[in-house]
């Protein structure tokens, strides 16, 4: 598997604050990677470094290039959607499509036109006349029409209703992702993307807490819904997190065999959100 992103000892400071603290990770080709963390964890700084928008210490290669020094060439093969639409509000939709057609060498107008036909967006409308959902659809139609190897999404569905968020991710999977392209996404709505992810990067206070494929995550971590009368015995196996709910005790275990936990209650895989909270709280104790 080819690595599209390689970071070694990546660091970035703002005064006394270490936004990135010597992190190392890789993102392979044809993967959908979730970069998950709380506010201030270092997600945005990591994305800015990957996109060549800031200087950094350490080593970073994106598609084999130094993103800061070779940003112009890099952005021919990288697309980006941020949490705030940056499309010019004064432009008409048809003007934006024309602009992309004449300026981006990898823009496929037919793909953009096909996607726009499936929306309620009028070609004569100006961006400022569109709803937030429509702006997101327009942005997505432009991005999907670029034959890029890497798509970076930073809270792409922030402020959208649940139907629009579902449509956004369905479109990515059905019309964009082909097993060759790579998608790197940050979001606080983890429950909506966890079934899409192939890999997980958990970050907190500028450090990587977990870097693993979802297959590895599901084989390593277990969620136990322990019966109250067996909870104390289960605690003896060292859960990394515990909470009570609906008459049961919920525990997350790291590296404990399922056969040892099965007598104490019902087993399953922890959600990405629960796993992150467990590892973050453990890291801060």
Q: In CATH, what number is assigned to the domain containing residue 108?
A: 3.40.50.300
Provide mean pLDDT across the span 55-83.
91
Residue 280: HSE in the Cβ half-sphere, 13 Å Cα cutoff: 18
pLDDT in tens, 107-155: 999 999 998 998 899 999 999 999 888 888 898 889 888 888 999 998 8
Total structural domains in the chain? Answer: 2
Give the phi and the psi of residue 15 in degrees, each rounded to 5: 65, -125
Provide mean pLDDT across the span 35-50.
92
Provide mean pLDDT across the span 200-225.
94
Looking at the domain assignment, is residue 113 inside a domain? Answer: yes
Q: Are 50 and 152 in contact (CB under 8 A)?
A: yes
Are 46 and 180 members of one domain?
yes
Are 193 and 64 members of one domain?
yes
Provide mean pLDDT across the span 84-100.
88
- What interhelical angle do 109-117 and 93-103 show, nearest 10? 160
Are 59 and 198 members of one domain?
yes
Are 231 and 200 members of one domain?
no
Are 32 and 92 members of one domain?
yes
User: How much is the pLDDT for 125?
Assistant: 95
The answer on pLDDT for 83 being more than 80 is: no
- Cα separation, 202 vs 36, whole angstroms: 5
Q: Residue 246 is part of which domain span?
A: 216-284
Please list the alpha-helical segments (H only) found in 60-158.
Answer: 71-74, 93-103, 109-117, 132-144
Provide mean pLDDT across the span 212-221.
95
Looking at the domain assignment, is residue 193 inside a domain? Answer: yes
- What interhelical angle do 109-117 and 132-144 show, nearest 10? 150
What proportion of the chain, given as a percentage, has pLDDT over 90?
Answer: 60
Q: Any idea what DSSP says for residue 147?
A: -
pLDDT in tens, 264-285: 999 999 999 899 889 887 655 5
The answer on pLDDT for 229 being more than 60 is: yes
- Cα separation, 257 vs 260, whole angstroms: 6
Are 61 and 153 members of one domain?
yes
- Cα separation, 70 vs 165, whole angstroms: 33
Looking at the domain assignment, is residue 133 inside a domain? Answer: yes
Length of the chain measured in residues: 285
Looking at the domain assignment, is residue 68 inside a domain? Answer: yes
Taking the model in full, what pTM does it have?
0.88
Looking at the domain assignment, is residue 40 inside a domain? Answer: yes
Q: Are 237 and 155 in contact (CB under 8 A)?
A: no
């Amino acid at each position: 598997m080819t690595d599209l992103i390689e970071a070694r000892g990546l660091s970035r400071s703002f005064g006394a604050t270490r936004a990135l603290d010597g992190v190392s990770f890789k993102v392979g080709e044809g993967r959908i990677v979730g970069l998950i963390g709380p506010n201030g964890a270092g997600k945005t700084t990591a994305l800015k470094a990957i996109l060549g928008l800031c200087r950094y210490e350490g080593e970073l290669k994106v598609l084999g290039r130094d993103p800061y020094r070779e940003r112009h060439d890099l952005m021919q093969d990288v697309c980006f959607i941020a949490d705030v639409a940056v499309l010019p509000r004064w432009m008409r939709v048809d003007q934006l499509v024309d602009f992309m057609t004449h300026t981006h060498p990898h823009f496929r107008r037919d793909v953009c036109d096909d996607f726009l036909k499936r929306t309620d967006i009028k070609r004569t409308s100006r961006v400022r006349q569109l709803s937030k959902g429509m702006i997101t659809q327009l942005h997505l139609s432009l991005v999907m029409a670029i034959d890029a190897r890497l798509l970076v999404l930073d809270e792409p569905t922030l402020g959208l209703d649940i139907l629009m968020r579902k449509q956004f991710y369905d479109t990515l999977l059905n019309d964009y992702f082909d097993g060759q392209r790579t998608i790197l996404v940050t979001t606080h709505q983890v429950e909506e993307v966890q079934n899409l992810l192939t890999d997980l990067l958990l970050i907190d206070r500028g450090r990587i807490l977990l870097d693993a494929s979802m297959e590895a995550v599901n084989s390593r971590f277990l969620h136990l819904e322990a019966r109250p009368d067996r909870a104390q015995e289960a605690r003896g196996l060292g859960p990394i997190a515990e909470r009570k709910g609906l008459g049961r005790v919920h525990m997350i275990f790291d590296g404990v065999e399922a056969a040892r936990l099965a007598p104490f209650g019902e087993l399953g895989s922890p959600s990405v959100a629960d796993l992150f909270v467990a590892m973050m709280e453990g890291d801060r104790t």
